[in-house]
């Protein structure tokens, strides 16, 4: 593993931790500021796409994992919205 891959993996793990934290808070009916996530995750994905082929390939599992977490976050946000908005 080269230094670039190590840095990318640390950044990816940090984002995954942030997403997990947001999911936990939303499940507790607390909102957290996630407005920064879009730009940070987008920037991280761009860096992975620009990385050497082997580095990008080595990170494939983690990228799939963060995509799944983002899907979970989306579901939690929808569930939260359904819980707090009055029904018609």
Render pLDDT for 31-76 as a digit per residue (tens, 0 to 9): 899 999 999 999 999 999 999 989 989 999 999 999 999 999 999 9
Query: In this predicted structure, what is the pLDDT of residue 88?
Result: 63
Query: In this predicted structure, what is the pLDDT of residue 60?
Result: 92
Query: In this predicted structure, what is the pLDDT of residue 41?
Result: 93
Q: Is the pLDDT of residue 87 over 80?
A: no
pTM of the model: 0.87
Query: In this predicted structure, what is the pLDDT of residue 74?
Result: 95
Residue by residue, DSSP assigns 9-41 as HHHHHHHHHHHHHHHHHHHTT-----TTHHHHH
- Angle 26-28-29 (CA atoms, 0-180°, nearest 5)? 65
Domain boundaries, the chain: 1-7+36-88
Average pLDDT over residues 15-44: 94
């Amino acid at each position: 593993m080269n230094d670039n891959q190590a840095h990318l993996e640390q950044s990816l793990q940090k984002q995954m931790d942030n997403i997990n934290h947001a999911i936990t808070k939303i499940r507790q009916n607390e909102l957290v500021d996630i407005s920064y996530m879009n730009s940070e995750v987008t920037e991280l994905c761009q860096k992975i796409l620009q990385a050497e082929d082997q580095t990008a390939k080595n990170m494939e599992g983690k990228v799939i994992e963060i995509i799944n977490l983002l899907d979970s976050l989306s579901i939690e946000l929808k569930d939260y919205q359904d819980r707090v908005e009055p029904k018609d």
